[in-house]
Amino acid sequence: MERTFVAIKPDGIQRGLVGEVISRLERRGLKLVAIRLMIVDEGLARRHYAEHVERPFFPSLVDFITSGPIVAMIWESDNAVALARQTIGATNPAEATPGTIRADLGIDTGRNIVHGSDSPESAEREIGLFFEPGHALDYVRSNDPWLRES
């Protein structure tokens, strides 16, 4: 089992898309194991997006992600990182595949609703930034045998 970090960004909350985003990941079959409604401060924003520090859009990205509450989550499944990224869609909603969250719900790269870790290593790092160790729950879902053959 793999875990990935997904966050509904401030635009997703302000537009009332929290349920929609969670529902899409749930229906895909991923399992929610941790969730937190929170404000990201500038320090956390800069650490989370550290790989982009030299990019021209970095200051507006930090402003945006700190502009209102986000929903930070950990989702679990086989291949969770890739599956969540696939359900989320490409970075630019205008280029994302229809059927993905970003294509169906957005139009602009700077307002693309949701974050998803891009690798298992990023997921581990990002989970560590947003959650205390041991915060994620281990639990059995009764429909798992209907979702996975083994």
Name the site residues for ligand DAT (rule: CB under 6 A): 52, 57, 61, 91, 109-110, 112, 115, 118
Question: Which of Mg ion, ligand DAT, none lies near 91, with the C-beta cut-off 5 to 8 A by kind?
Answer: ligand DAT
Q: Which is nearer to ligand DAT, 91 or 97 (CB)?
A: 91
Percentage helix, strand, coil for the chain under 3-state DSSP, each rounded to 5: 40, 20, 40
Could you confirm whether 115 is annotated as catalytic? Answer: yes
Q: Which does 57 bind (CB under 5 to 8 A by kind): ligand DAT, Mg ion, none?
A: ligand DAT
Q: Which is nearer to Mg ion, 104 or 118 (CB)?
A: 118
Where helices occur in the chain by DSSP H, the ranges are 10-14, 18-28, 42-48, 58-65, 80-88, 101-105, 120-130, 144-147
Q: Which positions touch Mg ion (CB under 5 A)?
A: 118
β-strand pairing of 70-77 with 114-116: unpaired
> Of 6, 32, 37, nearest to 123 (Cα)?
6
Name the residue nearer to ligand DAT (CB basis): 35 or 62. 62
List residues with catalytic annotation. Answer: 115
